Amino acid sequence: MRNDPTLRLTRRGFTSVALAVSAAFALPLPAAAELDVATARALIDKAVADVNSIISSGRSETQMFGDFEKLFVKYADVPVIARSALGVAARSATPAQMTAFTKAYQGYLSRKYGRRFREFIGGKIEVTDAKPIKSYYEVISTATLKGEAPFDLRWHVSDKSGRNLFFNIIIEGVNMLASERTEIGAMLDQAGGDIDKLIAKLKTL
């Protein structure tokens, strides 16, 4: 998805937004409780409550940038999401580059979709169910955008990083990790495969 100021927050646009809140911040969670269905659902219940609070806060878009970045770091497995977005290039990146990319990427997502959050005012997300899937848990919620019918929003939660965090979101079958990998891959191609140039570019967007 291009950073187009005229792009409205449609269901497809919200896929990436969710990652930013979704996908998406600086306040650490307490020590993780043993992950099970109830714990996974409780985590997303808290994340959703924070998302809805920011959306309805009446704060400016600039203030929302910081709010959503904090939310992202708090509830999302940012290193895993960033590594997935960078794709194959992550294998050749140095530790310093991965650290810089992760930081730039989380800020980029917050700014990119923060510019469109005003269009989501009047909408809400509500958790409806949760279930185990393989080595993680899927928390199911319903998202309602103003003027649109409700649609399915699924959060994938894992404790593999030592904390209970979400690492992916699925919107009506659209996999956000895959979508972001395509987006960042295109930017990296434009940068001639230079990760440092990609990091610099993300900081300007």
User: pLDDT, tens digit, for every residue of 83-101?
Assistant: 999 999 999 999 999 999 9
What share of the chain has pLDDT > 90, as a percent?
A: 52
Q: Which residue has the higher pLDDT, 120 or 204?
A: 204
Instruction: Report the run of H or E that residue 128 belongs to, with start and end.
Output: strand 124-133
> Which secondary-structure segment (H or E) carries 151?
strand 151-158
Q: Which of 97-101, 160-164, 178-182 has the highest mean pLDDT?
A: 97-101
What pLDDT was estimated at residue 105? 95
Mean pLDDT of the chain: 83
Label residue 151 by pLDDT band (50, 70, 90).
confident
Q: How far apart are CA 16 and CA 179, in angstroms?
A: 8
Q: Where are the domains of the chain?
A: 11-204
Take residue 95 and report the two structure tokens written for it.
């530790």
Predicted local confidence at residue 10, as pLDDT: 53
The helix or strand, by DSSP H or E, that contains position 74, with its residue range, turns out to be helix 61-75
Instruction: Check residue 114 and give its pLDDT.
Output: 63
Average pLDDT in the 127-156 region? Answer: 91
Residue 22 has pLDDT above 90, yes or no: no
H or E element in which residue 37 lies? helix 37-55
CATH tag for 11-204 (out of 1.20.1250.20, 3.20.20.80, 3.40.50.80, 3.10.450.710): 3.10.450.710
Number of Cα atoms under 13 Å in the Cβ half of residue 80 = 21
